[in-house]
Structure 1
Amino acid sequence: MQTDEKKMYVLDTNVLLHEPLAFLSFEEHDVIIPMTVLEELDHIKDRKKDVSRDARVAIRSLEGILHNATPEQMIDGVALPSTSVDTRAQNGKLIIVNDHLFAEEISGLPGNENDHRIINSAVHLQNQHPDVKVVLVTKDINMRLKAKGAGLKFVEDYRTDQLIDDISLLSSGYKKFSGDFWQTVGQCKSDQDGRELHHTVTKDLIGEVFINEYLIDETGHFAARVESFTDTDVTLLDLGHERLMSRMAWGVRPKNIYQAMAMNALLDTHMDLVILTGPAGCGKTLLALACALELVIEQGIYDKVIVTRNTPEIAESIGYLPGTEEEKMAPWLAAITDSLEVLHKSDQNPVSSRNYIMEKANIQFKSVNFMRGRSIQNAIVILDESQNLTAAQLKTIITRCGEGTKLICSGNLAQIDSNYLTPVTSGLTYLVERFKNFEGSATVNLNGVVRSRLAAFAEENL
């Protein structure tokens, strides 16, 4: 957003709910907050929903800048705090405008709609300041369409927190080479360290890599993981395609190389964070649960399994369900109990086996809302359906993980239910990109539906 042209950015309410400090991201440009936005924040802050916290943070942050301002200064604008290291940079201003006083600039749109009042204020400023670029910033796609239809020249999504421009650029966690990998590499330095075999190859042959990225080839004979790299060389841990495919956890074997790579990361106790992405039916939840039971019950490395997920309108609807917190969470965590039954379907009584394993592995169902303030020690945390969480919500959960805790995040970016999130702005996407270079994390995109041919056809054609 750094240009010589001075701009005015009119912020919609959903931008401040998505990122409460968003008004600090526009550097030397002026930020306009219509009175209608403050009214909407005021109504939202007392709701019994997670979004109310974001509304309160936004209100407190605005008050922190405007608390000493006079009414005249509020209209003229209060200088925004500098976020630039350049001391010569001129800061923009934060301006509160009373859009209720603006004449109706848009004919044909009802004036009592909040969205229309915000659009009207942007159009009014555009007419009032023809020499300034006035931009309406909103996460609402339909509002962007209506604003353009109303004559507003510049409408944008809030993209400051986007690390990629297109979901196709999101890292899959592995790199697949055409043909035979060793035919491409030729000679390389290899070292045996106990049972582990390491290869050091020239970086030019592989290209850009990140730590713990998996490497496979089309022949189905090569599989490795990036251990370390420099500007010139890459050190690979040889995993072996056949060894990967022969791994087993709680009676489950991988059905394809993608599941095998995921299982390798899940069973590796040095991996504090494992991110599993992929379409419905690719085995994310089943693999996470099988590996968690293997590590907790069979190997005894962790003490318990905590399963949590984002639950739409959980704060309002959970109270009306009977029973304990675990019983209240059961409708949203049916995928976990279904997976447990699948893992024990050959038992004489799968339901009894499921209940026994839930008690033996100390599996606890928790709401995301109640994760804040906790410190989880020596446990495996499975965060299911994480594509519906924002980056801030994911940070809240990750920072709860104490010593000896392993976090497994799974999600399908094609199944986002939130009104304010898209695949590129989802917290899951943010997590994948931010943790690419963290030595204690691994990402695997489970490319391929293994649920059934019906599910595979539906994923591709519906």
Structure 2
Amino acid sequence: MRKIYVLDTNVLLQDPNAIHAFEDNEVIIPAVVLEEIDSKKRNADELGRNARQISRMLDGLRTEGQLFQGIELPNGGKLKVELNHRSFAKLQEVFAEVTNDNRILAVALNYHLEEAEKTEPRPVILVSKDVLVRIKADVLGITAQDYLTDRVINMPGDLYMGNLTLHVHPSIIDEFYTYRHLNIASLNLGYPIHPHEFVILKDEMGSSKSALLKANAEGKKLEPLFLSNEPIWGIAARNAQQRMALELLLNDEIPLVTLAGKAGTGKTLLTLAAGLMKVEDERKYKKLLIARPVVPMGKDIGYLPGEKEEKLRPWMQPIYDNLEFLFDTKKPGDIDKILAGLGSIQVEALTYIRGRSIPGQFIIIDEAQNLSKHEIKTIVSRVGEGSKIVLLGDPEQIDHPYLDASSNGLSYVVERFKEQGISGHITLERGERSHLAQLAADLL
């Protein structure tokens, strides 16, 4: 049976192609949604881009017929801009205030009541990214659901980890140490090992015998790590996952690395140390470019005074904190003198990256979980020949209003690239900043 889907504004602002995501069902866009989209179209951010895109898309569909009467979509569904189910009479008994959210709810409620009177009523479903709108719909007896099509994983815990532990017969561990490799097919796992995925072998008999291995670029063979655990720029791995991260960061054959993990797991510090080694010591790359999105946690403090560098400083301070630690600076302002003297380290905002081509650089994108799928595509597609890009972030700490742990840009790249031989990923789980920081990440 065909269904009727009533779309909230935030669904279209999150994914302008959402009108094509409901198969052969009827998609309803309340008139108030057009008003809200119109109010966003002049924004210079992602919301503005999406508002303009859905506006152009709807304008193009007008050639197929009149939107208020409904037009057929290529997937067999039907799209309609609703004008006739706006009555607020039924809704005001429960929610009296005439807000845009309530006007959208009124459309869904009127459709629901109209269908209930039919012999074969069609299900009416309100689709919204707004939790409170879905709760209100439930109070009114309307089926409501989140927009799930943009999710790359079903649950946050489903994100690819980049490593696994296998309990095997001790003879398999002995075979690895003898021949320095293992064919993955010989393990008869029943599931694939992804390229550059790390595997910890443990003795199923209970002894302390173990081995740390990494899949090759084809995902067919397990090989030893090529790095020793020597410190780089004074930083040494404190746990197995940090060692895995350094293995990926220092491997020039892997141009895309993603690191996920809670605050304090060492993502930024390890990556900066690896970048400094590659740029300053080995001269593998001509520049170290460090960038992060300008997304505030909590209320924005507004405009900042000064030139571009002065405006960016508060947003980029976490990067400078780590650089001060690596360079072991003693006085405030020393890090600025060091960076000016080196000339090969650039701290930048992602605002200015569109249109650039970035060859021969070690690129670090911090807080990548606050980027949308479109933004992350824009960034990764800027990477030029001979560059390496590292995406860092915690999918559980998102400040973007329309993103979550299952739909953000970092999770998107991790899942889409996990089967590619040019990329590697590791999720860091153990905090190393301090005992207090680890407890805060776990308990709060």
TM-score (norm 1): 0.87
Per the alignment, in what secondary structure is the counterpart of residue 65 of structure 2? coil
The answer to whether the 8 A contact 1:174-1:444 is kept is: yes
CA distance in 2, matches of 1:97, 1:128: 14
Alignment of 1:7-156 (within 5 A): 7-67=3-63, 69-70=65-66, 74-82=67-75, 91-98=76-83, 101-106=86-91, 107-130=93-116, 131-152=121-142, 154-156=143-145
Once the 2 structures are TM-superposed, how far is the Cα of residue 189 of structure 1 from its aligned partner? 11
Aligned to 2:196: 212
Once the 2 structures are TM-superposed, how far is the Cα of residue 249 of structure 1 from its aligned partner? 2.0
Q: 1:33 to 1:289 in 2, by over 3 A?
A: same
Q: 1:163 to 1:312 in 2, by over 3 A?
A: closer
Aligned to 2:287: 304
CA distance in 2, matches of 1:104, 1:366: 53
Runs of 4+ displaced beyond 3 Å = 180-191, 217-221, 316-320, 347-351
1:250 corresponds to which letter in structure 2? W
Residue deviations 1:63-110 (CA, integer Å, cap 9, x gap): 11124523xxx233111123xxxxxxxx01110002674243212213
CA distance in 2, matches of 1:379, 1:229: 26
Aligned to 1:334: 317
Q: 1:348 to 1:369 in 2, by over 3 A?
A: closer
Candidates 235, 249, 253, aligned match of 1:252: 235
Candidates 163, 166, 173, aligned match of 1:177: 166
Aligned to 2:205: none
Once the 2 structures are TM-superposed, how far is the Cα of residue 19 of structure 1 from its aligned partner? 0.7
Aligned to 1:236: 222
Per the alignment, in what secondary structure is the counterpart of residue 393 of structure 1? helix
CA distance in 2, matches of 1:453, 1:118: 48
1:54 corresponds to which letter in structure 2? N
CA distance in 2, matches of 1:37, 1:270: 48
1:94 corresponds to which letter in structure 2? L
CA distance in 1, matches of 2:384, 2:38: 35
Residue deviations 1:367-388 (CA, integer Å, cap 9, x gap): 2222111111111211111111
1:223 aligns with 2:219: no
Candidates 369, 379, 383, aligned match of 2:365: 383
The answer to whether the 8 A contact 1:199-1:238 is kept is: no
The answer to whether the 8 A contact 1:189-1:199 is kept is: no
Once the 2 structures are TM-superposed, how far is the Cα of residue 319 of structure 1 from its aligned partner? 9.0
CA distance in 2, matches of 1:399, 1:95: 36
CA distance in 1, matches of 2:115, 2:82: 14
| Structure 2 unmatched runs, 5+ | 203-207
CA distance in 2, matches of 1:323, 1:249: 36
Candidates 140, 146, 161, aligned match of 1:157: 146
Alignment of 1:259-338 (within 5 A): 259-312=242-295, 320-338=303-321
Residue deviations 1:406-426 (CA, integer Å, cap 9, x gap): 111111122111221221122
The answer to whether the 8 A contact 2:217-2:422 is kept is: no
CA distance in 1, matches of 2:332, 2:247: 27
TM-score (norm 2): 0.90
CA distance in 2, matches of 1:177, 1:126: 52
CA distance in 2, matches of 1:411, 1:391: 14
The answer to whether the 8 A contact 1:297-1:361 is kept is: no
% same residue: 35
1:198 aligns with 2:166: no
CA distance in 1, matches of 2:327, 2:166: 37
Q: Size of the alignment, in residue pairs?
A: 432
Q: 1:409 to 1:33 in 2, by over 3 A?
A: same
| Aligned alpha-carbon RMSD (Å) | 2.5
CA distance in 1, matches of 2:366, 2:330: 29
Once the 2 structures are TM-superposed, how far is the Cα of residue 306 of structure 1 from its aligned partner? 1.7
Candidates 146, 151, 156, aligned match of 1:167: 156
Q: 1:257 to 1:301 in 2, by over 3 A?
A: same
The answer to whether the 8 A contact 1:275-1:443 is kept is: yes
